Amino acid sequence: MSATAPPDDARATAGLRLPSAARLGIDRTGIELRAFVRERDAVIFIFTYPLIMMVIFATVFSGQDQSADGYGVPFAQYFLPGMVATGIMLTSFQSLATSIAVERDDGTLKRLRATPLPAVSYFYGKIGLILLTTIVQTSLLLVLAATVYDVPMPADVSSWATFAWVFVLGTTTGTICGVAFSSLPRSGKSATAVVTPVVLVLQFISGVFFAFFALPSWMQTVASVFPLKWMAQGMRSVFLPHDAQVLEVAGTWQHGATAAVLGAWLVVGLVVGIRTFRWRRRDDG
């Protein structure tokens, strides 16, 4: 404190550089992680929800197949891709839509806005946190399915390549839509109440809890507008045998359509997010 501030021109001539946005993004990831692991209930929810669902459904329907027209796959094997997709949506879309709404409400965003922290570094931090949590959560789920429920893991490179792009595109789209959606709740307190029903309804109509082919066709049509259905379908193309395509409504995995719908939501989320993102609460002008 004893040192006096260098005058302006001294700062300029000393060539003091602002820290890079990338380095600050890494700092932000670190601080986001610390804050995240200390919110014990959130950690428990994020990591155990897909596992508990997997255990419940795989146990209740153990020994049964999801089958139609004489072709079937074991229940756990059909359920796993839907749960992987749901997990991605939880860690990206739901957690971000809620946490940004809370941070807007409690003043975190306004405080950061008052510093030279670049906006992109804030989002780098969010993306870093989401990537890490999603990877951990998906890994736990795959290990559980493979070891306890004997779900076969794909052995070929092309399946894992499909997994990689669906995972990355799904996480990115979920993240960006989460940022856009965070402007909707009026307060931090209402954030969970606003976000959860959306997520829950999508899980029911997108072929996560029930086999997608068994749903009424109007419900299938509605679900086809939203990303979760396509993420689940994309993950089924990874974890189900090639022949299981006959269980899909279209009779194929529709990778092109999956990429197109997820990509479209990514663009829509980006446009809406950029237009609606606010650093301050609504009642704060």
Partner 1 sequence: MDTTRRETRSVIDVRGLRKRYGTKQAVDGLDLRVDQGEIFAVLGPNGAGKTTTVEILEGFRDRDSGEVTVLGQDPASGGRAWRSRLGVVLQDSRDQVELTVRELVRHFAGFYPAGRDPEEVIDAVGLREKESTRARHLSGGQRRRLDVALGIVGRPELLFLDEPTTGFDPQARRSFWELVRSLREDGTTILLTTHYLDEAAFLADRVAVVRDGRVVALDTPDALGGPQARRPVVRWTGPDGTTHAERTTHPERLVAELTANGALDGEAPGLQVEHPSLEDVYLELIGTAAPTTASTTATTTAPEGSTQGRSTEEVAR
- Can you give the binding site for partner 1, defined by CB under 8 A? 1-6, 8, 11, 14, 16-19, 24, 27, 31, 34-35, 38-39, 103, 106-108, 110-111, 113-118, 279-280, 285
Q: Min. distance of Cβ 98 from partner 1 in angstroms?
A: 15
Give the residue with the Cβ less far from partner 1, 17 or 242.
17
Q: Which is nearer to partner 1, 125 or 178 (CB)?
A: 125
Q: How far is the CB of 114 from partner 1 (least distance, A)?
A: 4
- Min dist CB 278 to partner 1, Å, is 11
For residue 74, the cross-strand partners are 65
CB of 115 to partner 1, least distance (A): 5
Whole-number minimum distance, CB 191 to partner 1, in Å?
Answer: 15
Inter-residue contact 137 to 145 (CB < 8 Å): no
Nearer to partner 1, 25 or 234 (CB): 25
Is 31 or 274 the residue whose CB approaches partner 1 more closely? 31
Which residue type is seen at 30? G
CB 227 within 8 A of CB 265: yes
**Smaller CB distance to partner 1: residue 54 or 109?**
109
Closest to partner 1 by CB, 24 vs 90, is 24
Nearest-approach distance from CB 11 to partner 1, in angstroms: 6
